[in-house]
C-alpha cells in the first residue's frame, strides 16, 4: 500500500516514541520572528542551554516593523516594538542564528523570506511560532505553527513531541476562469469545510487546478489551511517546485542538486496512497470570493446573497447572528457594492511578486477612489526591489496608492498600520476576526489582491472581472 507525503515525511523524522504515545519528531528547519521568540531564548538562558543546531534556525522581523520609511528609523517610536527587535538582534547574534535583517535588505514576512531564500525545501519538517506556517507546505514540506514553549523546545533539542494527524486530500478539478485566483480557492475550501473542518487533519491539496498554479499561488492555498482548522496543508513537489528553488541562496548547490531533486521526488504521495478522507471541489464555476462575516469560513461567491440566520442550526445561529451584529450587514443582502475605506494588498497570504503584478495590472490607468486609502505592502525587501525594477511602484503611486516597505502591516496591526473606528477594509490578508486589523470595531472583508485593487478604484466591493482585458 502506497503512502502519502505527510506519512513519508512524518515517519522519516521520527527520533523515537515517547511514553505518552506521542513521537519525538526531528525538526529540519525552524523559523523565528520577534513576537514568539524572546521568551523562548530567555528560557534557554535561564537553563544555561545553547541552540542545538543554530544552522537550522532562521529569523527575521515582520509583525512589529513599520512599513513607512520615516517610521523605520531606529529607534522605533514605539518602545515595545524597538525592544522586541533589539531582543531578536541580540538573541540571533548571541546564539549564532542567521538573521535576515532590514539593514542587509533581507527582511520580510517570515513565510515569504523562508521560500525566497531557499530555506524551505520538499521533504522537510518546518516549525515556526506562527499560525500560518503551513504556507511552506506548498513546497512539499510538513510545516506547522507552534507555541512559545515549543519554540524553546526546538531551539534546545531540534525536536518536538507530536502525534500523527489524519490526512484529507482535497482534489480541485476543472479550470479557473479569468479573475479567479488562488485566494478564491482558499476561501472556497474553507467555506465548504468550515473553520473546524480540518481539526486533526493534514490537508493535501491536489488536482489539475493546484498543478496549474505557480508556487506563489500554492503558498496562498497552503497559507490558509489553519483558517480551516488544519494544522498542516501541503502540495506535492514537482518541476515547478524545483525550478523555484534552483539558485536560491540556501538551496542545494550544483554538485548536490540532482541528489536533492531525487529525494524531493521520492517524498511525493504515491499513486496508490490512501487518505482518511477525500473530497472534490469543482473550480469550473468558481467565482471571486469575499467574506461577509467574522471568520474566513463566512465567505461566499461574489454574486451570491449573504445567508439568512434561519438557514443555520441552533449552535451556528449564534455565530452568524454575532457576525451580522458586528459587521452591520443585513442578512440575505449582497456584499457587491459594499463601501470600503481601506484597501490593503500584502501579508504572508498575498504579498508576493505575482500578487503585486496582478494588482498593478488592475490599477494601471485607473485611480484610487477619493473615499479610499490604498496601502500596497511588499512581503519582503527583495520583493519590493523586484517590483520597483518592474515599475510597479510607479503604477501604484500614479494611481493614488501608498507604496510601503516590507512587513506584516495591516494584517494584524501590531505595528502603526491600523484601522480606525468602524472603517471597512478590503484586505488580501487571511483573517477577518473582530478587531484583527487594529480597531476593536473595525471590519475586514477578505478577498484576492485583484479584487482589492478593483474595490480601491470604485470605493466599494466590485467585480474585478470587468477590469480584466
Binding site per annotation, positions for [4Fe-4S] cluster:
348, 408, 411
Nearby residues of 338 by Cβ (< 8 Å), 6 or more positions away: 329, 424, 445, 460, 461
The neighbouring-strand residues paired with 446 are: 427
- In this structure, what DSSP letter does residue 69 have? T
Q: What is the largest CA-CA distance in the chain?
A: 64
The neighbouring-strand residues paired with 425 are: 342, 444
Residues in the chain: 469
CA distance 51 to 67: 31
CA distance 89 to 158: 21
User: Contact 125/28 with Cβ under 8 angstroms?
Assistant: yes
The neighbouring-strand residues paired with 160 are: 25
Which triple of cell numbers denotes residue 147?
507555541
Residue with cell 496582478: 358
CA distance 291 to 425: 11
User: Contact 23/120 with Cβ under 8 angstroms?
Assistant: no
CA distance 469 to 462: 16
Annotated binding site: 348, 408, 411
Sequential DSSP letters for 7-67 = HHHHHHTEEEE-TTS-EEEE-SEEEE-TTTSHHHHHHHHHHT---S-GGGEEEE--SS--S
With CA atoms as reference, report the closest residue to 293 among 239, 331, 253: 331
CA distance 109 to 411: 11
- Peptide bond preceding 75: is omega within 30 degrees of 0, i.e. cis? yes
Q: Tell me the pairing of strands 342-345 and 373-376.
A: parallel
Residue with cell 464555476: 285
Amino acid at each position: 500500500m502506497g503512502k502519502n507525503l505527510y506519512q513519508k515525511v512524518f515517519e522519516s523524522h521520527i527520533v523515537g516514541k515517547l511514553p505518552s504515545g506521542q513521537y519525538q519528531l526531528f525538526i529540519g528547519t525552524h523559523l523565528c520572528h520577534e513576537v514568539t521568540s524572546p521568551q523562548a531564548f530567555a528560557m534557554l538562558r535561564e537553563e544555561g542551554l545553547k541552540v542545538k543546531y543554530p544552522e537550522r534556525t532562521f529569523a527575521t522581523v515582520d509583525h512589529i516593523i513599520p512599513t513607512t520609511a520615516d517610521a523605520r528609523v531606529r529607534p522605533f517610536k514605539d518602545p515595545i516594538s524597538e525592544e522586541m527587535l533589539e531582543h531578536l538582534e541580540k538573541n540571533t547574534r548571541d546564539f549564532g542564528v542567521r538573521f535576515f535583517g532590514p539593514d542587509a535588505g533581507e527582511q520580510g514576512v517570515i513565510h515569504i523570506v523562508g521560500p525566497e531564500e531557499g530555506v524551505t525545501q520538499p521533504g522537510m519538517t518546518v516549525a515556526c511560532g506562527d499560525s500560518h506556517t503551513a504556507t511552506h507546505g506548498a513546497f512539499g514540506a510538513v510545516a506547522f505553527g507552534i507555541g512559545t514553549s515549543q519554540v524553546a523546545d526546538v531551539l534546545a533539542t531540534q525536536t518536538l513531541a507530536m502525534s500523527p494527524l489524519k490526512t484529507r486530500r482535497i482534489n480541485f478539478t476543472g479550470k479557473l476562469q479569468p479573475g479567479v485566483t488562488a485566494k478564491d480557492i482558499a476561501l472556497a475550501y474553507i467555506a465548504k469545510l468550515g473553520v473546524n473542518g480540518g481539526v486533526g487533519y493534514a490537508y493535501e491539496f491536489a488536482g489539475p487546478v493546484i498543478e496549474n498554479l505557480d508556487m506563489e499561488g500554492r503558498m496562498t492555498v497552503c497559507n490558509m489551511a489553519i483558517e480551516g482548522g488544519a494544522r498542516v496543508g501541503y502540495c506535492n513537489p514537482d518541476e515547478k517546485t524545483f525550478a523555484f528553488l534552483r539558485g536560491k541562496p540556501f538551496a542545494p548547490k550544483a554538485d548536490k542538486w540532482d541528489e536533492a531533486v531525487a529525494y524531493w521526488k521520492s517524498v511525493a504521495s504515491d499513486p496508490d496512497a490512501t487518505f482518511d478522507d477525500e473530497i472534490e471541489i469543482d473550480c469550473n464555476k468558481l467565482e471571486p470570493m469575499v467574506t461577509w462575516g467574522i471568520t474566513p469560513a463566512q465567505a461566499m461567491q461574489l454574486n451570491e446573497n449573504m445567508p439568512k440566520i434561519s438557514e443555520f442550526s441552533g449552535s451556528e445561529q449564534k455565530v452568524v447572528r454575532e457576525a451580522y451584529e458586528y459587521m452591520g450587514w443585513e442578512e440575505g443582502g449582497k456584499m457587491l457594492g459594499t463601501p470600503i475605506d481601506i484597501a490593503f494588498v500584502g501579508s504572508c497570504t498575498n504579498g508576493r511578486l505575482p500578487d503585486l503584478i496582478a494588482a498593478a495590472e488592475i490599477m494601471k490607468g485607473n485611480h484610487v477612489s477619493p473615499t479610499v486609502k490604498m496601502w500596497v505592502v511588499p512581503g519582503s525587501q527583495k520583493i519590493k526591489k523586484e517590483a520597483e525594477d518592474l515599475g510597479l511602484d510607479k503604477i501604484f503611486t500614479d494611481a493614488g496608492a501608498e507604496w510601503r516597505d516590507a512587513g506584516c502591516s495591516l494584517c494584524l496591526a501590531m505595528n502603526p498600520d491600523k484601522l480606525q473606528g468602524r472603517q471597512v477594509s478590503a484586505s488580501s490578508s487571511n483573517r477577518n476576526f473582530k478587531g484583527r486589523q487594529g480597531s476593536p470595531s473595525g471590519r475586514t472583508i477578505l478577498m484576492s489582491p485583484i479584487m482589492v485593487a478593483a474595490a480601491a478604484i470604485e470605493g466599494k466591493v466590485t467585480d474585478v472581472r470587468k477590469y480584466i482585458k
